[in-house]
Structure 1
Amino acid sequence: MKESKSKIVSDALEMALELSVGGEVFKIPGANIKSLRVGIRPYGFKAMLSFWVSSETREDKLFSRFIKHDLMEVKLNVEPHFKPQDAEIESLELHGFVTGKAVLKELTIENVHLKDNPVLYRHYRIDFADSAQVLWRQHFPCDLLVDGTVKDLIEANKATGVNLKYDWEALDEKFAINTLSVEPGEKGASFYDFIIWYAASHNGVFSYDLKENEYTLSGAKDLSGQPINMSKLETAEHSIAFPPTIRYNDRFLNAFSENPQKKETSRDQSKKGLRHDILLCLPVASDFEDAFNLESNKHKIRGHELHLIHCRFPQITYRPGIFVKIEGGLWSDKIFPHDTEYRVRDIFFQAQAVDEEPDADHNMEYSRYNIDMRSRLELKDEGALNLPGFKTPRYPIHVEGKIVSEQGDEEEETYQVYEHPQTALDQYKVKIPLFDNKEVVVPFDPLFAPGHFYFPAYKEQRVLVALDFHTARIERFLDWRPGGRLPMDSQGNHLLLGKTDSSKTSINHIYVDNKPQFNMKRTFDKDTEKIQLHEGTIILETKEEST
Structure 2
Amino acid sequence: TDFALKTLLTEHTAGAFTFDFDWDVLDEKRPLVCLALGEDAPGVGLYDFVAWLADTRGGVWAYDCVKDQYGLWGRKPAVSGAKPLSRTKVERLDVVLPAIPRNAARVLNASTLKSSTLEVPASKGAGVAGIHQDHLVRTPIVSQVEQRQALEVNRLRVPQRRYRMTFGHFPTVPVSPWAGLRLEGPLWGSSVVGSGEDLRVVELSLSARTLDEGPHAGLQLKDTGYAVEMSVLAERASDTTVSLPAHHAPRYPIHVEGKVLSPGGGEKDRIYLLSEDKKTSVLTWRVKVPLWNKDVSVPAEPGFFPGHFYFPPYKNARVLVALHFDRAELHRHLDWADAARLPQDGQGDGILLGKNDTSQTSIVHDFQDMKPVWHLERTSGPDTETVRMAEGTMMFRTKELPGAASVTPTFDVSPQVETARADLSAGVGGAVGETTAAYRVASGSSQAKLDGASSETQAALESAQAEVSAKVSEAKAELKGALAGLERSTSSLTSAASEARAALEQLK
TM tier, shorter chain? Answer: 0.7 to 0.9
Please give the alpha-carbon distance, in whole angstroms, between the structure 2 residues aligned to 1:357 and 1:500: 83
2:50 maps to amino acid: I
Using the TM superposition, give the Cα deviation of residue 368 of structure 1 relative to its aligned residue in structure 2, in angstroms: 8.2
Out of 48, 60, 66, the position equivalent to 1:211 is 66
Going by fraction, where is helix more abundant, 1 or 2?
2
Please give the alpha-carbon distance, in whole angstroms, between the structure 2 residues aligned to 1:540 and 1:350: 91
Is contact 1:230-1:327 (8 Å) kept?
yes
Which residue does the alignment assign to 2:118? 263
**Matched residue SS, 1:510:** strand
Which residue does the alignment assign to 1:78? none
Please give the alpha-carbon distance, in whole angstroms, between the structure 1 residues aligned to 2:33 and 2:84: 46
Is contact 1:533-1:539 (8 Å) kept?
yes
Q: Does 1:517 align with 2:373?
A: yes
Which residue does the alignment assign to 2:323? 467
Is contact 1:496-1:505 (8 Å) kept?
yes
Using the TM superposition, give the Cα deviation of residue 297 of structure 1 relative to its aligned residue in structure 2, in angstroms: 1.5
Is contact 1:188-1:393 (8 Å) kept?
no
Which residue does the alignment assign to 1:495? 351
Question: Aligned Cα RMSD in Å?
Answer: 2.3
**Matched residue SS, 1:374:** strand
Is contact 2:41-2:250 (8 Å) kept?
no
Q: Which runs of 5+ in 1 are unaligned?
A: 1-145
1:280 maps to amino acid: V
1:265 maps to amino acid: V
Q: For residues 510 and 369 of structure 1, do their structure 2 counterparts lie closer, same or farther at Cα, with a shift above 3 Å needed?
A: closer
Q: Does 1:290 align with 2:290?
A: no
Which residue does the alignment assign to 1:456? 312
Out of 388, 392, 402, the position equivalent to 1:546 is 402
Is contact 2:374-2:390 (8 Å) kept?
yes
Is contact 1:320-1:347 (8 Å) kept?
yes
Is contact 1:183-1:394 (8 Å) kept?
no
1:317 maps to amino acid: P
Out of 228, 245, 252, the position equivalent to 2:100 is 245
Please give the alpha-carbon distance, in whole angstroms, between the structure 2 residues aligned to 1:397 and 1:506: 36
Using the TM superposition, give the Cα deviation of residue 419 of structure 1 relative to its aligned residue in structure 2, in angstroms: 1.7
Please give the alpha-carbon distance, in whole angstroms, between the structure 1 residues aligned to 2:175 and 2:111: 52
Q: For residues 544 and 440 of structure 1, do their structure 2 counterparts lie closer, same or farther at Cα, with a shift above 3 Å needed?
A: same
1:35-72 per-residue CA deviation (whole Å, 9 max, x = no partner) reads xxxxxxxxxxxxxxxxxxxxxxxxxxxxxxxxxxxxxx
Pairs within 5 Å for 1:297-336: 297-336=154-193
Which residue does the alignment assign to 2:443? none
Please give the alpha-carbon distance, in whole angstroms, between the structure 1 residues aligned to 2:179 and 2:10: 29
1:484-537 per-residue CA deviation (whole Å, 9 max, x = no partner) reads 011122122211111111111111122221222221111112121212222332
Which residue does the alignment assign to 2:286? 429
1:257 maps to amino acid: T
Structure ID, larger Rg: 2
Q: Does 1:482 align with 2:326?
A: no
Is contact 2:108-2:135 (8 Å) kept?
yes
Is contact 2:175-2:204 (8 Å) kept?
no
Using the TM superposition, give the Cα deviation of residue 443 of structure 1 relative to its aligned residue in structure 2, in angstroms: 0.7
Please give the alpha-carbon distance, in whole angstroms, between the structure 1 residues aligned to 2:269 and 2:207: 73
Please give the alpha-carbon distance, in whole angstroms, between the structure 1 residues aligned to 2:171 and 2:352: 80
2:21 maps to amino acid: Y
Q: Does 1:414 align with 2:271?
A: yes
**Matched residue SS, 2:32:** strand
Please give the alpha-carbon distance, in whole angstroms, between the structure 1 residues aligned to 2:41 and 2:333: 32
Deviates more, 1:419-428 or 1:214-223: 419-428
Which residue does the alignment assign to 1:139? none
**Matched residue SS, 1:435:** coil
Deviates more, 1:391-400 or 1:345-354: 345-354
Pairs within 5 Å for 1:62-461: 146-184=1-39, 188-267=43-122, 268=124, 269-350=126-207, 370-420=227-277, 422-436=279-293, 438-461=294-317
Using the TM superposition, give the Cα deviation of residue 421 of structure 1 relative to its aligned residue in structure 2, in angstroms: 5.9
Q: Which one has more relative contact order, counting CA pairs under 8 Å at least 6 apart?
A: 1
1:305-351 per-residue CA deviation (whole Å, 9 max, x = no partner) reads 01112221112233221222223322211222122211122222345
Using the TM superposition, give the Cα deviation of residue 188 of structure 1 relative to its aligned residue in structure 2, in angstroms: 4.0
Please give the alpha-carbon distance, in whole angstroms, between the structure 2 residues aligned to 1:340 and 1:224: 11
Is contact 1:184-1:190 (8 Å) kept?
no
Please give the alpha-carbon distance, in whole angstroms, between the structure 2 residues aligned to 1:186 and 1:513: 53
**Matched residue SS, 1:291:** helix
**Matched residue SS, 1:429:** strand
Deviates more, 1:161-170 or 1:501-510: 161-170
1:246-281 per-residue CA deviation (whole Å, 9 max, x = no partner) reads 111112211101221112222131122222122211
TM-score w.r.t. structure 2 length?
A: 0.73
1:361-416 per-residue CA deviation (whole Å, 9 max, x = no partner) reads 87xxxx98654221111011221112111111111111111111114334322011
**Matched residue SS, 2:17:** coil
Q: For residues 433 and 186 of structure 1, do their structure 2 counterparts lie closer, same or farther at Cα, with a shift above 3 Å needed?
A: closer
The count of corresponding residues between Structure 1 and Structure 2 is: 397
Q: Which runs of 5+ in 2 are unaligned?
A: 404-508
Please give the alpha-carbon distance, in whole angstroms, between the structure 2 residues aligned to 1:155 and 1:280: 30
